[in-house]
Structure 1
Amino acid sequence: MLHSPTKYDPKEHIWSGARLQGLYNEDLTVGQIIFRQLRREPQRIFQISHTDNTRLTRGQMLENACKMGAYLRGQKFTMATDIVGLMARNTTHVAAVAYGCLFNGTPFHAVNPNLEEKTIRDLYHITKPRILCCDSQDYQKIKDIAEALGAIVLIVNGKIPQVASIPEILKTSLSPNYEPSEFAGGINRTMAILCSSGTTGTPKAVTISNSRKLFECHSYLSSNDVQYAPSTLDWLTGLISLVTAGVYGTVRLVSSDMFSPGHFLEICEQHEISWCIMANSHVAMLANCSQTKAQKLRSLQHLLFAGGHCLVATLRKMQSFLHGQGILRNAYGLTELGALVSYNYDTQSKPESVGRLMANIRVRVVDGSGQNLAVKGVGEILLHNGQPWSGYFGNPKATAEMQDPAGWFHTGDVGFFDQDSYLHIVERKKDMLKYLGMMYYPHEIEEVIAQMPDVSEVCVFGLWREQEGDAAAASVVLRPESRIKAFEVEAFVRDNITVPFKHLHGGVQIVQQLAKSANGKVNRSAVRENYIKRGSSSSSA
């Protein structure tokens, strides 16, 4: 729904989006809805893979997804706890795997292939999938995990000798009478499992139901639209793109290339992308790229960004490349909610807002004692969507911390509503940082630095950069007589953390002491401010 109104109850101090009735029977799963859509106009192009140079019609995608669904049925995947692990990039057959899972009522647990092997192992030991799907380049990461779980490995893209693959499954015959599985109350059945992390960094598996809220706010889409999202299916934005394409019959454009301004400009112009959802840092990169020209972006009608804020100057610069107002929109969502919370169509006059609430969303802003705050009152954002949530898979304690008995999600985000009922997010979730779209927690890096014998104390924090996000930086207190230099700390982190997004891109300072609160705890904000005042000494220290 475009430009959804937001109402404020001055007595209860609760903001609400429009109340809309769902259009689908609540026994239907999203898979059943997509199955019906793909049967229409089977000759229309449904998916284009820029990387693989392939095109699939709706009929071909439907057949492939049905074969995957039939394969799962043959493997006796009948319970909601029968799970498929999906750790793959955006290539030709990823959608068929995901849709096949939806057709069978089988949750897929999507994990980013760029994560460390230990994190991948921890995540999959939570959900214990019976099948693990990965690209050939990631087989070494997954084979030992599969062996420990007794799981089958299926290669999505590429080939591994003696290992079964999705293309082989798609060569099998299909019964002409195949129909997706039916369930009573299908709307509440778990559809997918995405990944998150708690404040301790322990991975959590976030269940996503078959709620229509995942796609209903994008009902403006049609078969004339070309959709693209650079994220893989482990992120909510990737899942939204997958589901909305299936429900509304758009053309789904995929590429396994990581986001870069040059690549996006190329595919946008070549394939005439009309709808895209990307990270806020991607917008900053695109707006400040010398190659960006209005002509290359002329097809864009909906450019959504999520994950944080952009500078006002960046938004204005990005808008100058777009053909019309209301195309560039800030979106605020929550993985646990399984939907977008708000949309800002007015990034011109309210560039710092995340907009007004989506339909059937309610929000409270509470103070430290849990009391609801009025207009312009700054506090924690609590959300309610009126939809049951199955919680974090296998983690009832964390589930109870996220959602209270009344169904309110405690986001940890701090913000307020202005007099026009526009929501503003003031601070990010406590401690969680994101660099180049990848989430991390400071303590993960602190634990590595603390392994250096000469380190007495360490505090890691993020230095926000518009195009990259939160670059990790560290203030380090050394033991007496130590001669360690800042560049040695940086090198130690590079040598002991395999993923580059957790490296110290913000630099290192050697300090005499860390700022602390009255109770003796390190004050991360104060340490960061002191770091900025001194200026990054990095490897010159």
Structure 2
Amino acid sequence: MPYRPANFYDADLKVWSGGKLEYYFDPHLSIGEIIFEEMRRHPQLIAQISATENTILTRAELHANSMHVASFMRSEGLLQSDVVGIIARNTTHMSAVAYACFFNGIAFHSLNISYEQSTIEKLFKITKPRLIFCDGDEYEKVRAATAQLNVKIITMRNHPLDSIRIDEILATPIEENFRPARLEQGNDQTLAILCSSGTTGIPKAVTITNSRQILNCNHFLTTNDVQYTHSTLDWITGLLTTVTSGVFSTKRIIADNIFDPAFFMRLVEEHQITWVLQVPAQMAMMANSPAFGTSDLSSLRYYLFGGSRASVETQHLIRGRLSEDCLHFAYGFTELGSMASMNFHFDEKPNSVGRLVTGMKLKVICEQGESLGPDEVGELCLCNDQYWAGYYGNPEETHKMRDPQMWFHSGDLGFVDDDGFIFIVERKKDMLKYQNIMYYPNDIESVISEMPDVAEVCVFGVWNQINGDEATAAVVKKQGSSLTAQDVVDYVATHIEAKYKQLNGGAIIVEDLVRSPNGKTNRMATKAFFLEARNLN
């Protein structure tokens, strides 16, 4: 990979920096303006292939479709202050809806299809979209959730009789001499509104700025690249892939099914995918798939993953199937709107999330808010010097997330070593205490992950009125394994000396871990499943 982050450390301020952000396009152009011009430069190239709907679009066709949708929005009188709602899978015309919003300078608010009606109602009540694009599968749920809003609902597939079809929108005449709109607020304007992970309470509506930072680490992409991520537009990874495929004129493969590791590996072979962005759960599912040993993954040149940890064993397995050393751990969070760091040095720093990318600064602070030096553990705070509109309609949470000096408070505990490599220890909120001794679930997960028969593991604390948080493990075993819960408990007992880090709450073998809609392991929900299963027994 041509890009290699290099860090700089200010020992007086105790601040690390990834260097100055470079601009490969006119810094005054919006993301929409860049994509508009780039799509016109390569009209005959294939822009998108849907592996599940069996459709193919050239860049000229996708460009025209985007202008049709954008012209419809303009005919409806939508302003740049309005919001467009999205709650849909990666279907054929989803990219055209996103690009139409970019062309018009209108932010879209994208929700996950798995959200309950009450969550949809609360979230869309915040942003009040004028139009909502959804699949017919969710139409009734969305219509009921937005009954109090003045909104038109357009369906992308499986159309109910009384819905507006995307085909009707695509038939809208393109406005004469169509040009993308100049942003009224410049590149400080909101590009999109996504959702926070929402592991506790209602997800927050996270604004993503029309910043060039989202292109960072991907300037190496060319028209020869083929991109894929299974993420939909409600996650930063889905947004990033949609943006970069438009800006760098790559071919993008999409699919609207539930993630299937064997299906994904067939896509890599069939379409010679070169760039992929996954969550660790998908990597673990791949490594545990019967097709893993025979699949040809040699076309991959950029294999990025993030969102949570992948066990070192899983990383080794994936790397063993790649023709190049191209598996890289990326770290960031939705509020940043981009990656913060990447690890290109697995062999030297296998547990690190890497060094800061350009445009990023980092400091580590203690509980009192004072900056810490190398190898000292504290909360990671990041700054990208970009405007951020905050959580839409939620100034209180916005101020908690970003302080007046423009530092984002990640909620992640970690440290930076003498070489500038960042290490994540745990989420602050995941800290547990057994008999008043602090420990972190990852300390135990790392040990259990070393067991040959373990595919995935999630450790959480179960409250005991005498001991406090008793460590408990939910484990997914590898196919064909005869692993038992007692085997896991015994393994920890022989590999960890500390009594407070034993599986004092026991273990359970499960078919799969409970996940958030973006594929991350949901520790609280997995714990709830364990408690329910224990009560039933």
Once the two structures are TM-superposed, the CA of residue 23 in structure 1 deviates from its matched residue by: 3.2
Q: 1:58-104: CA deviations, max 9, x gaps?
A: 00000000111111111111132x11110000010000011101111
Return the letter of the residue paired with 2:417: D
Higher mean C-alpha displacement, 303-312 vs 378-387: 303-312
Alignment of 1:307-322 (within 5 A): 307-322=307-322
Question: Equivalents in 2 of 1:32, 1:247: separation in Å?
Answer: 10
Deviation at 1:295, TM superposition (A): 5.0
Residues 253, 528 of structure 1: CA spacing in aligned structure 2 closer, same or farther, 3 A cutoff? farther
Which residue in 2 is equivalent to 1:261?
A: 261
1:99-142: per-residue Cα shift (whole Å, max 9, x none)? 10111111000100012221121111111111111101111210
Q: Which amino acid aligns with 2:207?
A: T
Q: Partner residue of 2:117? A: 117
Q: Aligned with 1:141: secondary structure?
A: helix
* Separation (CA, whole Å) in 2 of partners of 1:350 and 1:91: 39
- Residue pair 1:331, 1:342 contacting (<8 A) in 2 also: yes
Between the aligned residues of both structures, percent identity stands at: 40
User: Which letter maps to 2:341?
Assistant: S
- Structure 2, unpaired ranges of 5+: 432-440, 450-454, 466-484, 486-499, 510-529
Shift of 1:145: 2.0
Aligned residue number for residue 8 of structure 2: 7
Q: CA deviation at 1:322?
A: 0.5
Amino acid at match of 1:2: Y
Q: Once the 2 structures are TM-superposed, how far is the Cα of residue 532 of structure 1 from its aligned partner?
A: 3.5
1:308, 1:261 → 2: CA distance? Answer: 18
In structure 2, the residue matched to 1:134 is 134
Amino acid at match of 2:114: N
What are the Cα deviations for residues 27-63 of structure 1, in whole angstroms up to 9, with x where unaligned? 3221111001100121111000001100000000000
- Distance in 2, matches of 1:368 and 1:474, equals 25
Distance verdict in 2 for CA 1:269–1:35, change over 3 Å: same
Pair 1:532–1:364, CA change in 2 (3 A): farther
* Contact 2:195/2:204, CA 8 A, preserved across alignment: yes
Q: Note the 1:76-475 alignment, pairs <5 A.
A: 76-80=77-81, 82-196=82-196, 201-293=201-293, 295-325=295-325, 327-428=326-427, 430-431=429-430, 470=458
Cα drift, residue 528 of structure 1: 9.7
Q: Deviation string for 1:299-330 (max 9, x for gaps)?
A: 111111111112222211111101022x1010
Tell me how far apart the structure 1 counterparts of residues 424 and 242 of structure 2 sit (CA, whole Å): 27
**Aligned amino acid, residue 56 of structure 1:** L
Give the distance between the partners of 1:429 and 1:143, measured in 2 at CA: 38
Q: Tell whether the 8 Å contact from 1:381 to 1:412 is kept in structure 2 after alignment.
A: yes
Return the TM-score normalized by structure 1.
Answer: 0.81
- Give the stretch that moved more between structures: 160-169 or 51-60: 160-169
Q: 1:208 to 1:429 in 2, by over 3 A?
A: farther
Equivalent in the alignment of 1:530: 504
Q: Report the counterpart of residue 519 of structure 2 in structure 1.
A: none
Q: 1:470 to 1:233 in 2, by over 3 A?
A: farther
C-alpha spacing 1:29/1:61, structure 2 compared with 1 (3 Å)? same
Shift of 1:146: 2.6
How far did 1:534 drift? 11
Distance 1:527 1:160 in 2: 54
2:69 is equivalent to residue 68 of structure 1:
yes
Aligned to 1:503: none
Q: In the alignment, what sits opposite 2:28?
A: 27
The question of whether the paired residues in 2 share the 8 Å contact of 1:475 and 1:527 is answered with no
* 1:478-523 C-alpha deviation (Å, 9 max, x unpaired): xxxxxxxxxxxxxxxxxxxxxxxxxxxxx9xxxxxxxxxxxxxxxx
Deviation at 1:24, TM superposition (A): 3.3
User: Is 2:153–2:164's contact at 8 Å kept on the other side of the alignment?
Assistant: yes
Which residue in 2 is equivalent to 1:523? none
CA deviation after TM superposition for structure 1 residue 429, in Å: 5.1
TM-score by length of 2: 0.82
- Segments of structure 1 that go 5 or more residues without pairing to the other structure are 433-460, 478-506, 508-525
Please tell me whether the aligned partners of residues 206 and 335 of structure 2 are also in contact (alpha carbons under 8 angstroms): yes
In the alignment, the residues of structure 1 paired with residue 26 and residue 351 of structure 2 have an alpha-carbon distance, to the nearest angstrom, of 38
Q: Are the equivalent residues in 2 in contact too, given 1:294–1:321 (CA < 8 A)?
A: no
| C-alpha distance in 2 between matches for 1:312 and 1:199 | 25
Between the two proteins, the alignment pairs up a number of residues equal to: 466
State the shift of 1:260 in Å.
Answer: 2.0
The CA distance in 2 between the partners of 1:246 and 1:108, in whole Å, is: 17
- Contact 2:118/2:145 (CA < 8 Å) preserved in 1? no
The 1:152–1:132 alpha-carbon spacing in structure 2 relative to 1, beyond 3 Å, is same
Give, in angstroms, the shift of residue 215 of structure 1: 1.1
Question: What's 1:51 paired with?
Answer: 52
Give the match's secondary structure for 1:336: helix
1:421 alignment partner AA: G
> 1: distance between equivalents of 2:140 and 2:501?
40
Q: Distance in 2 between matches of 1:203 and 1:160?
A: 28
Residue identity opposite 1:228 in structure 2: Y
Task: Output one character per residue of 1:127-176: Cα deviation in whole Å (capped at 9) or x when no partner.
Answer: 11111111011112101123211211000122111211212111232234
Residue 539 of structure 1: how far off its partner (Å) = 6.2
Structure 2 Cα separation of the partners of residues 350 and 248 of structure 1: 30
